[in-house]
Amino acid sequence: MVKEGTLTLSPPAQLVLLATLNEFVQRAAPLQEKKDIKELQEVSGKLLESCSNIAGSCLEATTWLRRNLTVKTESADKKDGVNDAVSYSVAALSVLAELLAPLLDVLYVSEEKDKVVPLLTNIMAHVVPYLRNHKRGNMAAFSACSQLLSSLSGYQYTVRAWRRDVLDLLLDPQAFMMLPPILPYWRTIVDYLCTHDKTVFKELLSRVSMSQGGSLSLFSSKESEYEIRAGLLKRLSFTIFCSETDQYTRYIPEIQERLAEVTRLGQVVPSLVAQVLLCFRVLLLRMSPRGVTSLWPVIITELVQVFLMMEQEWLQILNNSAKRGQVHT
C-alpha cells in the first residue's frame, strides 16, 4: 500500500481508505499498547498527508523564488487532467472537512495534542490558498475549506495551526466575497478564534483606532485611509456579531471610543458613518439592554446628524428641481 512514503492507490481509493480508517478509530475499542497507538498515528498521518496532497492538486507555486501556493488558473491545459484534479481536490477537501477534526481528536490523547499542530500546519498549507481565492469558479473548494476550518476551530489545541491565517483572511479586503451559505462557517471560525485567543479582539480594536497620530501609510490619501478604516470597522462589527450575548461587554468603553473617533472627524465620510451605524446595530443585537446604556446618547446624536444630512440633500434636490422648472417656463 505504501511505497517510499507515498500511497500508490488512486485518489478516490485513498479517500475511501481515510473514511474506513475513521470508522475504525471511532468505533473500535481504544488501543492499549503504546507501540500499536504509535503505529496507528503514523499510518493515519501518512494517509492524511496523502489526502492533503490530493486536496492541493489544484495549487501551484507563485514563482520559483517564493514558495507560496495559489490556485491554478482556469486557462490550464485540460489535456493534463485538470478537470479530474479539480474533482479530486474538492472531494478530498470535503472528506477532510468531515473527518479530520474528529479523527485527530481520538487519535491523540490529552497529553499528545501538541503533536497535532505540525500535522495540521502542513494540511493548512493546502487549505489557505483556496480561502484566499474568492472567484466564483473556486467557490466549491472555498466552501469545503471553510467547513474544514470551522470544524477544526472547535478544538482549542488546533488554534496555533490556523490563528494567523484566519486573522489575515479576515483582514483581507475581499473577506466577505463569498456565497451566503458559506458565511455561517465563518461565524463559527471567528467566534472560536476570539474565544480561544483573547488577544485577537484587542488587536482588531487597536487596528481600528484613529488616534495614533497619522495615516495608516505615509503614502496613503485621506480617502483611501477612510476606506481602510471603514473596512476595519466592518470586521469589528462582524466579530461582535459572531459572539455570544454580552461576550464583549467589558470592551464597551473602548468600542465606544473607537466609534467616537469617527464622529470627531469634523466632516461627514459616508463609508465611515455607514459602518458606525452598522456597529451600533450589532451592539444592540449582541448586548443586553443594560450593557448598551452608555451608547444611547452617541447613537441618538449620530442618527440626528444623519437625518439632518438627509434633509439637506433633499432640500438641495428640491431646489435644483425648482430651478430647472423655472428655466423651462
The answer to whether 224 and 267 are in contact (CB under 8 A) is no
pLDDT at position 312, please?
Answer: 82
pLDDT at position 262, please?
Answer: 79
Pairing of strands 59-61, 69-71: antiparallel
The answer to whether 290 and 252 are in contact (CB under 8 A) is no
Q: How far apart are CA 180 and CA 184, in angstroms?
A: 8
The answer to whether 69 and 56 are in contact (CB under 8 A) is yes
Q: How far apart are CA 151 and CA 145, in angstroms?
A: 10
For residue 69, list its beta bridge partners. 61
Alpha helices in 82-210 (DSSP H): 82-107, 116-124, 128-132, 139-152, 159-171, 183-196, 199-208
Each residue of 220-252: b (16+ CB within 10 Å) or e? eeeeebbbbbbbbbbbbbbbbbbbeeebbeeeb
CB-CB neighbours of 296 under 10 Å: 12
pLDDT at position 97, please?
Answer: 96
pLDDT at position 85, please?
Answer: 72
The answer to whether 169 and 175 are in contact (CB under 8 A) is yes
The answer to whether 109 and 33 are in contact (CB under 8 A) is no
Residue 82 cell numbers, joined: 485538470
Q: What is the pLDDT tens value at each position of the chain, 329 positions in all?
A: 444 444 578 999 999 999 999 999 999 888 888 899 999 999 999 999 999 999 999 998 876 655 688 998 864 444 455 566 788 999 999 999 999 999 999 999 888 899 999 999 999 999 999 999 999 999 999 999 999 999 999 999 999 999 999 999 999 999 999 999 999 999 999 999 999 998 999 999 988 876 554 444 555 677 788 888 899 999 999 999 999 999 999 999 999 888 888 777 756 678 888 899 999 999 999 999 888 888 888 888 888 888 888 888 888 888 888 777 665 55
DSSP state of 173: T
pTM summary value: 0.84
Strand, coil or helix: 172: coil
- CA angle 201-129-20, nearest 5°? 100
pLDDT at position 75, please?
Answer: 42
Residue with cell 470586521: 235
